[in-house]
């Protein structure tokens, strides 16, 4: 199966600044930011989406979210994961968007 862009980043095939990492995740800036701060917490295990994730990974995702929020000095932020094309998923390697640094629109509108 074709490697996703995130698998290539994790394997060092695409040079990308790693802002933070722990045992099970890395954090990078999104290439097309949707807010003034837009980071991606990417699981090191290539789960396709959240439905495949080992719940124990949440501990590491939570750590990464808190660390990147502190590093970027954002107090308020939104965390989103898209599961499946109809939900807007375009890269099929589990990741969580962390958005902040500016007023975010109403998620329901």
Task: Tell me the site size for ligand 5GP, rule CB under 6 A.
Answer: 12
Residue nearer to ligand 5GP on the CB measure, 32 or 73: 32
Q: Is 28 in the site for ligand 5GP (CB under 6 A)?
A: yes
Please, what is the end-to-end C-alpha distance for the chain in angstroms?
A: 37
The least distance separating ligand 5GP from the CB of residue 70, rounded to whole angstroms, comes to 20
Which residues belong to the active site?
Answer: 95
Using CB atoms within 10 Å of the CB of residue 39, give its burial: 0 to 12 exposed, 13 to 18 middle, 19+ buried: buried
Q: Is 30 in the site for ligand 5GP (CB under 6 A)?
A: yes
C-alpha to C-alpha distance for 95 and 41, rounded to whole angstroms: 5
Q: Which x/- pattern, by CB under 6 A, does the window 41-60 give for ligand 5GP?
A: --------------------
Single out the residue of 1, 11, 23, 32 in contact with ligand 5GP (rule: CB under 6 A): 32
C-alpha to C-alpha distance for 30 and 88, rounded to whole angstroms: 15
Q: Is 109 in the site for ligand 5GP (CB under 6 A)?
A: no
**Nearest of 48, 49, 44, 103 to residue 80 by alpha carbon:** 49
C-alpha to C-alpha distance for 38 and 15, rounded to whole angstroms: 18
> Which residues lie near ligand 5GP (CB under 6 A)?
5, 16, 28-32, 82, 88-91
């Amino acid at each position: 199966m074709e490697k996703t862009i995130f698998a290539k980043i994790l394997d060092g095939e695409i040079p990308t600044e790693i802002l933070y990492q722990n045992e099970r995740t890395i954090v990078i800036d999104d290439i097309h930011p949707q807010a003034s701060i837009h980071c991606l917490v990417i699981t090191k295990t290539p789960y396709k989406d959240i439905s495949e994730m080992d719940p124990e990974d949440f501990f590491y995702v939570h750590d990464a979210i808190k660390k990147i929020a502190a590093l970027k000095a954002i107090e308020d932020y939104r965390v989103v994961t898209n599961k499946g094309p109809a939900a807007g998923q375009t890269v099929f390697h589990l990741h969580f968007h962390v958005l902040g640094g500016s007023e975010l629109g109403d998620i329901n509108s």
